[in-house]
Chain A
Amino acid sequence: QKEVEQDPGPLSVPEGAIVSLNCTYSNSAFQYFMWYRQYSRKGPELLMYTYSSGNKEDGRFTAQVDKSSKYISLFIRDSQPSDSATYLCAMSVINTGTASKLTFGTGTRLQVTL
């Protein structure tokens, strides 16, 4: 079993739809959670990060963490064609004094159609 599971998609939605992207994880030591967006042939771009359960909102994006269920989500409201990309979840244990090592999902490919 992988430590982080993410549906690869592709997920196709019409413009303006609400998108829900999800990851599940098995390691209860994960405490820090991130979402990245990666356009084709580009490096991943950090969208959001959080270390607490509950919701964190930034514009059209909301990150949700449920540590009891080991489940994280990214919601995109009013989706736009420019949101078409691969979305990667990532997570880390909290430690001090060493580099953070992230465990990534394999990514979900999202396509927003006109």
Chain B
Amino acid sequence: SQTIHQWPATLVQPVGSPLSLECTVEGTSNPNLYWYRQAAGRGLQLLFYSVGIGQISSEVPQNLSASRPQDRQFILSSKKLLLSDSGFYLCAWSVRYEQYFGPGTRLTVT
């Protein structure tokens, strides 16, 4: 069966510091991968998606970037965090249309 991991689970970072969030998927090959952000009381905002190694599509211009160095690894990064980057970050994978989400990383920028 397929599983998706995200780490860390919780992160508190100061403004201006760098960020690296990691997501890995097990039990499937060549998945589509997604990064979402969910702000408190708001819906899911798609940030990036990837259909293959090195292929990244950005949905919203922002302070973040994404990379896919391996087939089942997806990384979300920032060089300098802003207060507005705080939120719940979710990674998801799909093969067809339905997406399966990871447990999420709660990021607080102070």
Contact = CB atoms under 8 A, between A and B. Distances in A.
Contacts of B88: 41
Given A98-B51, A99-B50, A43 B104 contact: yes
A107 B51 contact: no
A45 B51 contact: no
Given A43-B90, A104-B44, A99 B98 contact: no
A36 B99 CA distance: 10
Interface in B53-110: 57, 88, 90, 94, 96-104, 106
Contacts of B44: 44, 88, 104
Interface residues of B, number: 23
B19 interface: no
Identify which of A43, A49, A51 gathers the most chain B CB atoms within 10 Å of its CB. A43
A98 B49 CA distance: 10
Contacts, number: 57
Interface centre among B43, B50, B51 (most CB of A within 10 A): B43
Nearest to A51: B97
A92 interface: yes
Nearest to B10: A41
A41 B43 contact: no
A42 B104 CA distance: 7
Interface string A44-61: 111001010000000000
Contacts of A44: 44, 90, 101
Contact of A99 (B34, B43, B90, B101): B34
Contacts of B102: 43
Contacts of B103: 42-43
A106 B38 CA distance: 10
Nearest to A97: B51
Contacts of B94: 99-100
5 contacts: A34-B98, A34-B99, A99-B49, A99-B57, A104-B43
Interface of B: 32, 34, 42-44, 46, 49-51, 57, 88, 90, 94, 96-104, 106
